[in-house]
Amino acid sequence: MRMKSALAAAAIVALAAGCGSGGGGDKGGSKAEPGEPVKLNFLSLAWQKESVAANKQIVDEWNKANPTIQVTYVQGSWDNVNDQLVTQFAGGTAPDVIHNDSPALSGFASDGYLLDLSDKLPAELKSDIPQKSWDTVTFDDGKGKQGVYGVPFLQESQVIIANKKLLDGAGVRIPTPDNPWTWDEFSAAAKKMTKGGTFGVAWPMKSPVNKTLNLALNFGGTFFQTTDGKTTVKVGPEEKQVLQRIHDQLYKDKSADPAALGQGTADPLPAFYSGKFALLPAGVYLRQQVAEQAPKGFEWVTLPPLKGTTADQGAVSQTLSVAQDSKHPDEALKFISYFLNPTNQAKLAKGDWLLPTSVKAASDPSMTTKENGWDVATASAKNLVVAPFLKVNGFDEWKSKVATPALQEYFANKISIDDVAKKLVDDGNKVLERYQR
């Protein structure tokens, strides 16, 4: 899930003031006096103009329709939300309703800061979201009991954004959601499009971990295994498949643009527009920048996720949770249920250019239109399963200290695939060992 720095400075002030006040110093929203409305604080991490507008519109509509339960919108930032929440949870001033992403929920749940929603979810809300999405918010409470600590509502898949002119000119089969490219077909297509100074594909790998781990599920690669309660790193044939295939495009087929390798996800777009390469594997949200920034006359299409032995991809979710200390948990959940009804989920997904978890929202005409590849993007949600790393204590440290530098070295052709596997496992297990309970 993308974490952005926009509005960060303003958000720090807003988050501290809006949430920290807790509605007059109380925990969560303020305690309602007789005849007074219940007051809830809602921390939102929306940052894009369209997304912020959708969030605020839904809150306004709720407040007009529910005079006895009033919600205050509090603007937060992905850049500092978890540090802020640690302070607010400890001080008893956390907001009632909390926007976050599923990897962050595990620690807060085990520390007792989030309400277990398992037995509190309305049937309509629960049934409209597939179990595989609920799996992304299901964690141990630190005492051996599994609980549901948020409602998942937005997810991201990896698709391929393609230069239509170069794609059509290559004469390759155009993949569809029902008949996607296999990795072999993808490699062959990229080679066919590599000619005359144009590359077939670009792999921006400045931040390589989540992308490669999520795609590794195409071949059953999980990178982690748990035996007798102990989690260790695993890099076997399944995990090596995607790593080797990307490496081959860079150095064997030479069909991948080497200039993109050290770049962030959106950095190669100017080269994409100029025809330097034809295919850009990326998160579905990148379609927004292409739609808004591509030169006039530039034609592009969205291609579905690749398929190995399976089309599965790892996913995390954006979530809404209820603080354990909220004075009004029932009202908070009523608001969440309204905020995430199918109509509203479609608005939120459109604003963030992501995928709704709601089955009904996914069938909304705005989610199935061919315009800007929404039909292909929305169809890709069926391939999303809980990312294996989501349940691994110590993953963030393994990612930053071990996996990121090791994978960067590998994709830069400085170490072999066996070397990177050894680093990921040996150095990684030293990190995970400190987190074992």
Same domain, yes or no: 336 and 283:
no
- Enumerate the H helices of 194-264 as residue ranges: 209-216, 237-251
Query: Average pLDDT for residues 274-281, to the nearest whole number?
Result: 98
Angle at 430 between CA 318 and CA 206, to 5 degrees: 50
Same domain, yes or no: 81 and 113:
yes
Distance CA 212, CA 205 (A): 9
Domain count, the chain: 2
Portion of the chain with pLDDT greater than 90, in percent: 86
Query: What are the residues whose beta carbons fall under 8 Å from the beta carbon of 192, sequence distance 6 or more?
Result: 170, 171, 172, 200
Residue 364 is classified by DSSP as: S
Query: Average pLDDT for residues 342-363, to the nearest whole number?
Result: 97
Tokens of 387: 């990312």
Picking from 104, 92, 120, 77, the residue whose alpha carbon sits closest to that of residue 29 is 92
Same domain, yes or no: 94 and 203:
no
Residue 419 has pLDDT above 90, yes or no: yes
Query: Average pLDDT for residues 121-149, to the nearest whole number?
Result: 93
Distance CA 27, CA 82 (A): 18
Same domain, yes or no: 308 and 174:
yes
In tens, the pLDDT along 137-169 reads 999 887 888 999 999 999 999 999 999 999 999
Tokens of 261: 């390798």
Query: What are the residues whose beta carbons fall under 8 Å from the beta carbon of 227, sequence distance 6 or more?
Result: none
Domain boundary residue, one of 333, 357, 381: 357
300 membership: H or E segment, kind and range? strand 300-303
User: Does any domain span residue 15?
Assistant: no
The mean pLDDT value of the chain amounts to: 92
Confidence band (pLDDT; 50, 70, 90) for 32?
low
Residue 51 has pLDDT above 90, yes or no: yes
Same domain, yes or no: 171 and 138:
no
Is beta strand 97-101 parallel, antiparallel or unpaired with respect to 38-44?
parallel
- Measured CA to CA in angstroms, residue 31 lies from 114, 243, 412 at distances of 19, 54, 57
pLDDT for 29: 56
- Domain of 124, CATH number, reads 3.40.190.10
List, in sequence order, every beta strand (DSSP E) within 64-164: 69-75, 97-101, 138-140, 146-148, 151-155, 158-163
Tokens of 290: 């292409």
241, 215 in Cβ contact below 8 A?
no
Query: What are the residues whose beta carbons fall under 8 Å from the beta carbon of 321, sequence distance 6 or more?
Result: 97, 98, 100, 105, 108, 114, 115, 117, 149, 150, 151
Tokens of 46: 């929306």
Helix (H, G, I), strand (E, B) or coil at 249: helix
264, 207 in Cβ contact below 8 A?
yes
Residue 26 has pLDDT above 70, yes or no: no
- Helices 209-216, 237-251: axis angle to 10 degrees equals 120
Same domain, yes or no: 297 and 400:
yes
Task: Tell me the pTM.
Answer: 0.89
- Measured CA to CA in angstroms, residue 10 lies from 43, 81, 91, 352 at distances of 14, 13, 22, 20
Distance CA 221, CA 388 (A): 9
Picking from 80, 138, 54, the residue whose alpha carbon sits closest to that of residue 339 is 54
Residue 8 has pLDDT above 70, yes or no: no
Query: Average pLDDT for residues 224-243, to the nearest whole number?
Result: 95
Picking from 114, 116, 117, 118, the residue whose alpha carbon sits closest to that of residue 100 is 114
Which residue range forms the structural domain that includes residue 34?
A: 29-155+316-357
User: Does any domain span residue 88?
Assistant: yes
Q: Which of 32-46, 158-172, 202-216 has the lowest mean pLDDT?
A: 32-46
User: Does any domain span residue 12?
Assistant: no
Same domain, yes or no: 285 and 233:
yes
Same domain, yes or no: 310 and 232:
yes
